[in-house]
Amino acid sequence: MDNDSWSRIADKTGVTLRALLAQNKATTKTMILIGDTVCLPKGTTWKQPSTEATGLRNLPAPKVRYTRAQAAAAIREVFPKHLEAKAISLAKRESKLAAGSYTWCCVGLFQINWWAHKPWLDDIGVTKASQLLDAKTNARAAYAIYKRSGGWSPWAL
């Protein structure tokens, strides 16, 4: 486990700090250096860290592919009239109106950070990152983010 302290390793593996230190003949002041081996007490089970931490990979293709004009129309459907122009401009900046675009963290028209917003997105029916590849769903999520934050600040505007 890269960049971990004794207490974090104990927490992640579900063992007591005392047991972990005893197993390694260490104290809390013993440094863990790159290349060191840390032994876990006998019987400890440890789950490999989730790949979620390393980002989004191989999202399935969206069911509907939107042209740029259709993506802009989806934004117009969701955002109030007085916000449409700014929303479309932002989506052009973020994804060039390519609804199916994504990076290691961010998905769709508005490049919504899945990891930052995942805890509440299910409130609007979004339970998988791949759902944000749909232009209408992404626009709905972006508008929800806009309302939650009171403006465009999540996109540094």
What's the maximum distance between 2 C-alpha atoms anywhere in the chain? 66
Q: Summarize pLDDT for 106-140 with one digit per residue, the tens.
A: 999 999 999 999 999 999 999 999 999 999 999 99
Angle among Cα 124, 145, 149 to the nearest 5 degrees reads 135
Per this entry, what is the length of the chain?
Answer: 157
Q: How much is the pTM?
A: 0.66
Rounded Cα–Cα distance for residues 115 and 155 (Å): 15
Using only the alpha carbons of the chain, give its radius of gyration. Answer: 22
Round to whole Å and give the CA distance between 9 and 25: 15
Task: Tell whether the model's pLDDT for residue 61 goes beyond 90.
Answer: no
